[in-house]
Structure 1
Amino acid sequence: MTGPTLITVLRGFKVRTSTLDNFLIANGHPNGIQTGPSPPIYKYDYDNCVATDETSEVLRAKVRAAAASMPSDSGTATNTTGVLLVVPSVEGHTDSAWSYVSYSYAQVYAQRHITAEDPSERVPPGFEELRQEVLGHSSHTDHRDEGLLGLFVVSARERAGMIPAVLRERYKELPIRCDRCEETFNSWSQRQWHRNTIHGTDEELNPMPENA
């Protein structure tokens, strides 16, 4: 049985995995991408709704360094939480020759309305400098699509995404209490069944998030 499939909608650039490896090696990371041609295994900071991995942290540091060298009147540090390495993977196919580096992204749990703000179209200072530096390590003569900027949808097999806030809210306290009496339950669907049967509500037992 295969694991979950992670769908990521991202704004950023497309780059050959070998080019990104060359960039990382030149910057003191001799193994290149931590997970090789496989999708990263993200760690999730649920307090700030941020995904990260070792390679993404390297890329974020580069963006911050580039932004810090630019003249600025704001005095505000560049937010690099949208910078993320994303690698496609589909069962039965060879590893992808391409990777993606985002400046903003949104993971799709079930269904999501994509807008100019989600994921954001705003490019953080220093990101273009990162893109140019990465592309400077390309060893390919065919540069078609190398460094292409755009909106991309990427699928990665057997990778878990962030649990949506609406689902985390349901299980933030166990046991789960009925909001109409003192009964408690171990699952949300049990609570909903109780409310429908005992209290006369008409609600789905385990509703899917509408925009996540």
Structure 2
Amino acid sequence: MEAVMGRTRLIKKLKSKGIILLIAGIIISLISTLMSVAFIIDGLNPILIAFIIMLICGIIFIYNGVDYLKRENSKFIKKHPEILELADDLDINKVYEDNFIIISNKAISPKKDITKVAALDDVLGIYESIQRTNGIVTSHIIRLELRDGRCVTINVYAKKRETKDNLVLTISNYCHNAKVGYSNETLSYIKEQRKEYKEKRN
């Protein structure tokens, strides 16, 4: 039973994300469709483009939501089959856990979203990303850039500087293939490693 706890939690989380995406997609699609029809009747309007974009986003949400509800048979799992084993490893061989992350002998995952689990060896870059609106910080995350092109994000908004620094240091101590800090060197390294990975996969 213990060996499948990780993947069970992953599949459960995938299902809940699928339900949320499906509901959100349906609501967005309905609203954008009704508004688009209204604007078409009244004549073309620049705002119509915004509702068409919303409709496309809604359809994408629905598509991904339906896929996630397939759980083990989803395209997401088929594209990344290794995450089931990595999720199990988080439970069986856990070596570190705090309010943000869980780390095992082989894997790392945000504590709140096990569907983003990744192999330690696949983490290529670790750096902070800050977004501001009118000079005010609205988003502060730590990004883990992965070999397969994915990106794992960990929200550290409104956390103390010491907490953020310690988190980056902890992650880097376990991810030996990763470069720390946002720089041209880091970005070039990530790009090169991803290119090699893609060539080997093909």
TM bin, normalised by shorter chain, reads under 0.3
**Higher Cα radius of gyration:** 1
Normalised by the length of structure 2, the TM-score is: 0.21
Larger RCO, structure (CA 8 Å, separation 6 or more): 1
For normalisation by structure 1, the TM-score amounts to 0.20
